[in-house]
Structure 1
Amino acid sequence: MTNDAGLVLHLRCELPAASAEVFRALTEPRELARWWGPDGFTIPAVESDLRPGGAYRIDMRPPEGALFHLAGEFLDVDPPRLLRYTFRWEEPDPEDRETVVTLELRDLGEGAAGLVLTQGEFATERRRALHEEGWTQSFGKLERLLTPP
């Protein structure tokens, strides 16, 4: 994975599945709950109305701590190549602000897909770095989930 500096987060990764399969893992609540969040987090519930203007909400539980929530609205849904949505914490840190996440997919051939994430703009470098760590760990779990046995 690679990233750029600044208060916008950019990550790229290659995943061992075609774009359609990756898009499904990014959008189907049951699949999303299997890989979403930093290492050790669990996802007790995902609600999703996958259409432009539709809302989503993800319940997240850290290894030790109380349940918290992430919510937003889908802006663009173009399977299997593009997903764009707002991202906001329902119990925000004072340094948080709503951001926009863009996930772009393209087939690389031989059952692999390239995924590019852009998220921003963050209020502080500390929050951008926290999201970079969370996405990096999440994408690691997604890669393991998609890797054939």
Structure 2
Amino acid sequence: MTRDGGLRLHLQRVLRAPRPVVFRLVTEPQELAKWWGPEGFTIPSVDSDVRPGGAYRIAMQPPEGASFHLVGEFLEVVPPERLSYTFRWEDPDPEDRETVVTLSLRDIGDTSVELVLDQGDFATERRRVLHDEGWTQGLDKLAALISSI
């Protein structure tokens, strides 16, 4: 995994699954709910219309406290290689602003894929770090899910 400086986030992860499987895991609501979010969080619901211009809404439940929602719009959907969407909290922190997430998937051999995640631009370094931690833990959960199937 690598991280860029500045107010952008750049993560890379090698996953041991074919690209179509990984694309399905990052786009289908029932699969997304299995791994999304930091450790300890659950995902009570995912509503998603995966097409350019389609919207999504993800309910996130922390271990303690009230649930909150993440919403956005799909900008680019190119199965099984690329997904780009806006990302914002329904009730944002004053330091938040809408960002754009791009997931790129590249085959590595017959059974592995490199997932590259780019997100930005963040309003503050504190919010970039928060997303770095959340994505890192979520991608760890995604890798564990892949190992179990």
Same fold (TM over 0.5): yes
| Deviations 1:14-36, CA, capped at 9 Å, x for gaps | 00101110000000000000000
Partner residue, 2:100: 100
Partner residue, 1:133: 133
Task: Letter of the 1:66 partner, please give it.
Answer: A
Shift of 1:110: 3.4
Structure 1 unaligned residues grouped into runs of 5+: none
Partner residue, 1:63: 63
Partner residue, 1:19: 19
Q: Which consecutive segments of 4 or more residues in structure 1 shift more than 4 A?
A: none
| Matches of 2:119 and 2:83, distance apart in 1 | 12
Partner residue, 2:74: 74
Tell me the C-alpha RMSD between the 2 structures. 0.8
Within the alignment, does 1:29 sit opposite 2:29 as a pair? yes
Shift of 1:102: 0.3
Which stretch has the larger CA shift, 107-116 or 120-129?
107-116
Partner residue, 2:48: 48
DSSP 3-state at the match of 1:138: helix
| Matches of 1:64 and 1:7, distance apart in 2 | 29
| Matches of 2:57 and 2:148, distance apart in 1 | 29
Q: CA, structure 1 residues 43+148, in 2 after alignment: closer, same or farther (shift >3 Å)? A: closer
Structure 1 length normalisation: TM-score?
0.98
DSSP 3-state at the match of 2:122: coil
Structure 2 unaligned residues grouped into runs of 5+: none
| Matches of 2:115 and 2:70, distance apart in 1 | 22
Shift of 1:148: 4.7
Task: Letter of the 2:60 partner, please give it.
Answer: M
| Deviations 1:35-64, CA, capped at 9 Å, x for gaps | 000000000000000100000000000000
DSSP 3-state at the match of 2:137: helix
Q: How many residues align?
A: 149
| Matches of 1:68 and 1:76, distance apart in 2 | 25
| Matches of 1:86 and 1:148, distance apart in 2 | 30
